[in-house]
Amino acid sequence: MNVLVLGSRGQLGHELMHAAWPAAARLIGLARPQIDVTDATSVAAALAAQAPDLVVNATAYTAVDRAESEPEAAFAANRDGPAHLAAACARGGVPLIHVSTDYVFDGTKPAPYDEDDPIGPLGVYGASKAAGEAAVRAAWPRHIILRTSWVYGSHGRNFVKTMLRLAGERDSIAVVADQHGAPTAAADLAAAITAIAARLAATADIPWGTYHFAAAGATTWHGIAEHIFTRLQAATGRCPGLRAITSGKYPGPARRPTNSRFDCRRITATFGIATPDWRDSLDRVLDHLLVSSASDPSPPRQAQGL
* Total length of the chain: 306
* 45: CB partners within 8 A, 6+ apart: none
CA distance 75 to 132: 8
Nearest to 173 by CA among 81, 238, 108, 241: 241
* Residue 45 main-chain phi, psi, to 5 deg: -65, -40
Q: Examine the residue annotation and report whether 125 is marked as an active-site residue of this protein.
A: yes
Of 61, 103, 125, 211, catalytic:
125
Contact predicate 89/135, CB 8 Å: no
CA distance 153 to 288: 10
Contact predicate 90/157, CB 8 Å: no
CA distance 57 to 12: 10
Virtual CA dihedral for 219, 221, 226, 232, nearest 10 degrees? 120
Task: Please give the positions annotated as active site.
Answer: 125
